[in-house]
Amino acid sequence: MQELIRQVEEKKFKSWEKFKASLPQNAERGQWVNTGGQLMPAASLQQLVRQIKNGKIGGWDDMHAFYTRKSKEYGKDKLGHAYASLLEITGLTHSRFTKSKFRELLDSVLAIKQKMVENIRWSRARDYDNPFRQMTYNNFTEMNEVIGGLADNPFINQQESDFQSFTETVNRLKQLFR
């Protein structure tokens, strides 16, 4: 869903029809490989190997050109993989992926994100109550002075801020695709 949301935001779609038309109709999930720090579909790596074997890639310049092209295609490949994964998880097909289903999925992803942020806060709060963590300090006040209070935890605060922004984005998309 995050990739689909990113697609709408980056391309600034104003209609459901244009957004849906931008999604690959025959998207397929596949394996991905890390090729020295660059992620790409395994099929692309196999294509590279075939091109080396048949002489279409004859040197480092050709190899670098292939990697540059795949780097430019990364967003499209990632979107296709994400969309195929979403269809598989939800049991939908491209034709059954409707505006109302997208809105339902926006609600679902928002609820999941909210639960994640709540669990992050809960998990960090547990750390503050942990007697083994507290035992290296004279008291709770000293511990808070050294590591900071829960309310000042930058990771929690960043997650909550990100969630607020995400909520605004989701609400904007729900309005756009009413």
pLDDT tens-digit readout, 125-148: 887 788 887 888 888 888 888 888
* Domain extents in the chain: 24-96, 97-178
SS3 40: strand
The position carrying tokens 């998990």 is 123
pLDDT digits (tens, 9 = 90+) for 16-37: 999 999 999 988 899 999 998 8
- Paired residues of 39 in beta bridges: 34
Report whether 156 contacts 124 (CB < 8 A).
yes
pLDDT digits (tens, 9 = 90+) for 147-166: 888 888 899 999 999 999 99
SS3 98: coil
105: CB partners within 8 A, 6+ apart: 1, 86, 90
Q: Please name the residue ranges forming H helices in the chain.
A: 2-11, 16-21, 42-53, 60-90, 99-129, 131-134, 140-147, 154-176
Model pTM score: 0.81
Mean pLDDT of 169-173: 96
